[in-house]
Structure 1
């Protein structure tokens, strides 16, 4: 008997060869699935890139306020570069428990294609990325770009599998539609997240199973989201010093803290991603594009209920959001574009 509250696990080779069964994809992303697919047997450089990048965000959070201010961009609504205390929680209070570093990303296919266009007419990201200097965080940019490229390449393979599924289950579905629009997208972006350690004086009430104190219950606006497993690090004696070295993993102060999914049967399910794997979640644009054959997944992040030790344990992770360009029609019946769809979602959550 299939357990629909357990994440579906497949190998990268199954995606590369197209041998993943459509029933497996339906089990992961369909109307009765959990909405998440875990991919194992990744490229050999994945684990070192993950550890290195997730270590960087702890070091970055230790930079002086004036240095962090140089890495922020208010004009992009803090969706490029460093962001802290700019995002409102469902309570209406601004979230100071986590910081984020946002980067716009392009698929390697699109980068190569754009490189052949004269620079004076070449399209660019809506807001250019902000990068710390090599002196400040040596290797940060190259590590970020390399890991995001790896994840985007796998997202495109997942998209290809979704296209195969949609061709069988969605009337008049255009062959290769999802893979194409994600390959050509200039709106996909990554979010490197740092959940700050609890202060020893912080008092947080014990949470129930629906607690979404770290990130409120929501569905992603895009098509597919790639997620690394979280890295918990002990920042008790951490200082920003050069050269930087990857940090050692630590145990969470609360094993119940982390990523949760609201299942199709309204059960709350904690999802643990193995450190050597990637997880992929479905967003609302994918649900529209496939006419509901593949469903978006409601999820939230539960914060710790308290700290039993004086150790400063932080939680770091990376999410890559693959989404269409704003002018792409995501709902064929209504003609709604992705830009209109995200605007509607923003207005609902305002």
Structure 2
């Protein structure tokens, strides 16, 4: 896809100060999340520590993926259907192939409510190990800042999601019949099932790139998020030919100012059927609507189909170190805020039932 052929879209942007003050106009929320929207809002003016946290956590995605295969295997959780810890090649794409182009590290964010919790309690939901299996963490001596950085960055993202949820509640209370005041904020703030996914898109070989160019969305099959609000960092692009992630496991890696492949990034299928690329500034967070939010607001806010493309191989032929091609990795973090398993998302259907349907569909 040539850069001139890529349709760019500008996401609705609000400041953290507006969210804290509760002054985001309903028109802005409708433009961001409503029936004719892209289903995404960008939040700027984040806490000062955000940039350093983002750099460290996203660098750790490359360090993690560079660990030996046997170590990665020890960090995976078949009993949770690979939705805790390391996962690669377990998810099916639209084409029916298993997705081996990216690795994921899943973390339960129950620690947001209680630092001693690493999962939702299994008492009432023994059949949901995806949420009730405890987190797996890499050894501190291997990846010193992995757990601490990820927990702190997830906390910043969920704190911000709580404020976005509060704005949505104000809108819904005025526009949705019998809407329970403060419902979405309550769901996001008290959830024990919120899930973080640290993503590493591997540098692509020429063969893999050619094979996957057949379908634009085969990098991450077109889908709807099934939670309430999905918090997203901007992607970090790293040339792993120049910055070998096996050589150190602590300091942040140098980040390319932009992707060498202009087609890499987040794409949204708009209401008019167009596919548009949305860029998230490095110092901002974005929040996308999920299917649960659509159910909760009875369609006033809509979940939007989207997909992700990694960077193609050999996007440049040389680097400053000589004639070896660039090996571009793309790292990002998504935090899926979602209700507790017993919460009703529509009359007669709990989030546990709804999530089970989605998980069976995708894995």
TM-score (norm 2): 0.87
* Contact 2:227–2:336, Cα closer than 8 Å, also in 1: yes
How does 1:104-183 map onto structure 2 within 5 Å?
104-106=108-110, 108=112, 110-111=113-114, 126-183=132-189
- Asked if the contact 1:80–1:129 (Cα under 8 Å) also holds between the matched residues in 2, the reply is yes
Distance change in 2, residues 1:180/1:206 (3 Å) = closer
Task: Check 1:235–1:349 CA distance in 2 against 1; reply closer, same or farther (3 A cut).
Answer: closer
Q: Equivalent residue for 1:297?
A: 304
Alpha-carbon shift at residue 6 of structure 1 (Å):
2.8
Cα 1:349–1:95, aligned 2, differ >3 Å: closer, same or farther?
closer
- The offset of 1:275, in angstroms, is 0.2
Q: What's 1:325 paired with?
A: 340
Counterpart Cα distance in 1 of 2:231 and 2:166: 15
Distance 2:362 2:82 in 1: 17
Counterpart residue number, 1:338: 351
How much has 1:154 moved relative to structure 2? 0.3
Partner of 2:13: 9
| Unpaired segments ≥5 residues, structure 2 | 1-7, 318-324
Equivalence map 1:1-350=2 (5 Å): 5-106=9-110, 108=112, 110-111=113-114, 126-200=132-206, 202-204=208-210, 207=213, 211-237=216-242, 238-242=244-248, 244-250=250-256, 251-308=258-315, 309=317, 310-332=325-347, 335-349=348-362
Count of residues in correspondence between the two structures:
337
Given that 1:205 and 1:306 are in contact with CA atoms closer than 8 Å, whether structure 2 keeps it comes out as no
Contact preservation (8 Å) 2:226, 2:358: yes
Query: What secondary structure sits across from 1:212 in the alignment?
Result: helix
SS of the residue corresponding to residue 245 of structure 1 reads coil
C-alpha distance in 2 between matches for 1:136 and 1:154: 30
Q: Secondary structure, in 3 states, of the residue corresponding to 2:157?
A: helix
In the superposition, relative to structure 1, how do residues 206 and 182 fare at CA in structure 2: closer, same or farther (>3 Å)? closer
CA contact (8 A) 2:203 2:311 kept: no
Structure 1: 5+ residue stretches without partners:
none
